[in-house]
Structure formats: C-alpha cells, structure tokens
Structure 1
Amino acid sequence: MNIKKSAMVGKAINRLMETEEATGEQLAIDFNVSPQLISHIKNERRTMQADIAQESIALYDNPEYTMDILYEFSSKFTSPVLRGRFVEQHRMTLEAYAKKEIEEALERIQNVCLAKPPSMIDENERLGVRSMMDELIEARIHIDNLLKQLQKEYKISIMDRIKALLPTWKVKGWIE
C-alpha cells in the first residue's frame, strides 16, 4: 500500500462544506491556507497535500469526510463510503448489510482451514483463503459504514470511542 503525498479530494471537500455548512473562506481559515487553494482543491484543479488532509481530519470530526480522505490518500486501501444507488444511508439498512456481510464472513471462516502452512496449500485451498479475505473485506466495509452512520445519527465520535478503547487494547496485549 502507498500513502499518497497528495490526492484529488474535491468531492470530499464539497461534501464537507455541505454537511458542515462551511464556506471556502471558513475552510481556508481552518486549514491555514488561502481561499484560492481551497477553491482549486474543491474544483479538482489542485491536489490536497497530506499535511493539510491530516489537519482537516483533526479539525472536523466528520466520519464521511474522514473516510473519503483516508480512502483517497491510502490508494483505496481503507473502506469507501458506500454511496451507490442501491445503498440507503440509514442506520437500520446499514446494520442489516453489516449483519449479512459479517455472517457471510463467519461462514467462510468456518469453511476455510488455516491449519496448513501457506507454502503447503494447493490452488483450491488458496482460492478458499482468497474468498475468505474477500468476505472479510466486505464485512469491514459495511462495519465502517455502519459506524459512520451511527456517529452521524447518534453524535458519538468514532475517534473518541477508539481513544477510550486504546488502554483496554493495551492491557489485553493487542497493541503496544
């Protein structure tokens, strides 16, 4: 994976301005850049630099914006915001999608054996692992979109929840 030094994020900026009811001038002040630069980024005539993106995420605890920025800067490694025409942006719909994808991933985990060393598996077993990974990725995308919607509707910050959970994860030995 490649973390980009800059990315085209005009759509993300436009959505941020709409949801936060902010002007280009206000974003320029918040990001400590010129209004012209915001205009160029917004209209996709210029890329946003990584340092500005990092600052903007810290300033605006907006889950859609954060997901959009991370998705673009991570070369699409992180979860996208699901905005397709068949995805309703409602917590109960996203919950149903997440449940379905989690169940499919769990079923795939049950059916794939990881006991053999990777160097000893045949092509069919490799396809099974790949299929399991696909289901896990799809579950992750739907979980991330459900979390995004929960933050939007319940005003509970994902970042605040992560910060609150970090000490527990350290105690459990999950992170250093």
Structure 2
Amino acid sequence: MFKVIKPAAMMLVMLTLLTGVIYPALVTGLAQVLFPGQANGSIIRNSQGKASGSALIGQPFNNSKYFWSRPSTTAPYPYNAGASSGSNLGPTNPALAEAVKARIEAFQAADPDNKSPIPIDLITASGSGLDPHISPAAAEYQVNRIAKARHIDPDKLREMVRSHTEGRQWGFLGERRVNVLALNLALDTIR
C-alpha cells in the first residue's frame, strides 16, 4: 500500500507546486511586465496622482457640473462592482417603463432648455450594470447643461468630448465611446 501512496503524494506535491505556485507566479510576473496597467486594475488617476477609479467600472455622477454615466441596476448602491448584473426586466415590464420614465424626467429637469431626444444609453442600464462608457451622442447631449453650470464655452466642452472619444476596439469591434470618469477628471482640470 505504501508503494501506491508515496507516488500519489509526490504527484500531489509536484502538481500543487506547478499549478498552484509556479504557473500563477509566471502568469502574474508576465502580466506585470507586459501589461502593468491592466494587471493592476486599469486605474485612472486624477491630476494629483491619486487613484480615482478604474477605467473598467462605472461611477455615479449626479452633479450638474459633470457628465452623467449610464444608469446602473446594481444594488443596493449604484455601481456596486460586487453586485454586477442587469435588471432582467423585459420590454413589457411596467417597472422598466417607469424607471426609464423617471430617468427621462431627471434629464429634462436638469436641463429644461434641451429639447433634443435623449440618447438611449443615458436612460437604459447596460447588461452588467457597471458600464463606464457613454456614447459620444450621450456626452454631446449633456454639453449645454455642463457649460451653464461651469460657465464654460460649450465648444470647449465639445472639443474635450472629441479628445476623450475612444475608437472601436481594434478598429472594427463595438462602437465609439467616451469614458465618463476620465472625461470628468479632465473637466476638473479646467480653470
């Protein structure tokens, strides 16, 4: 019996070292060398160098001086990364219609002069509930409200939106998008 246990124990120790220590250490080391930003959470820093958040996780903004993010359905708090999920409300569910109506009313109350149609990504949540991006159209929709609140030329804000608009991934996947946190941090640097 000892002849069977000894090789099995040796195999357990070898595989534990290989798959539990050596392989993870190798992958972690390579990630730190080749992709340090992504390996450490894609952290976005403010102008003082302080970590403000991740480029991959949305944050709530509700002050009229900032661009507002896409709505989140994570609970109990907005943009709770530990509760990533969609609402699972179907298009015929009255709760979804009421939530969208409330979001529309909030945008109309924040900028009553804006009669443009509200872009869909500002009133509907993403599948994960944590989307850090909005469309360039959603950013453009908010320019006049922010310009009034900050007393900034709207054309300057439009230029900021253009400079923070990311292209399609690898040139053909997805849509053009704007990272709301990065854009709002850039807004804070304007005097």
Question: Structure 1 length as normaliser, TM-score?
Answer: 0.25
Q: Which has the higher strand share?
A: 2
Q: Which has the higher helix share?
A: 1
Largest Rg, 1 or 2 = 2
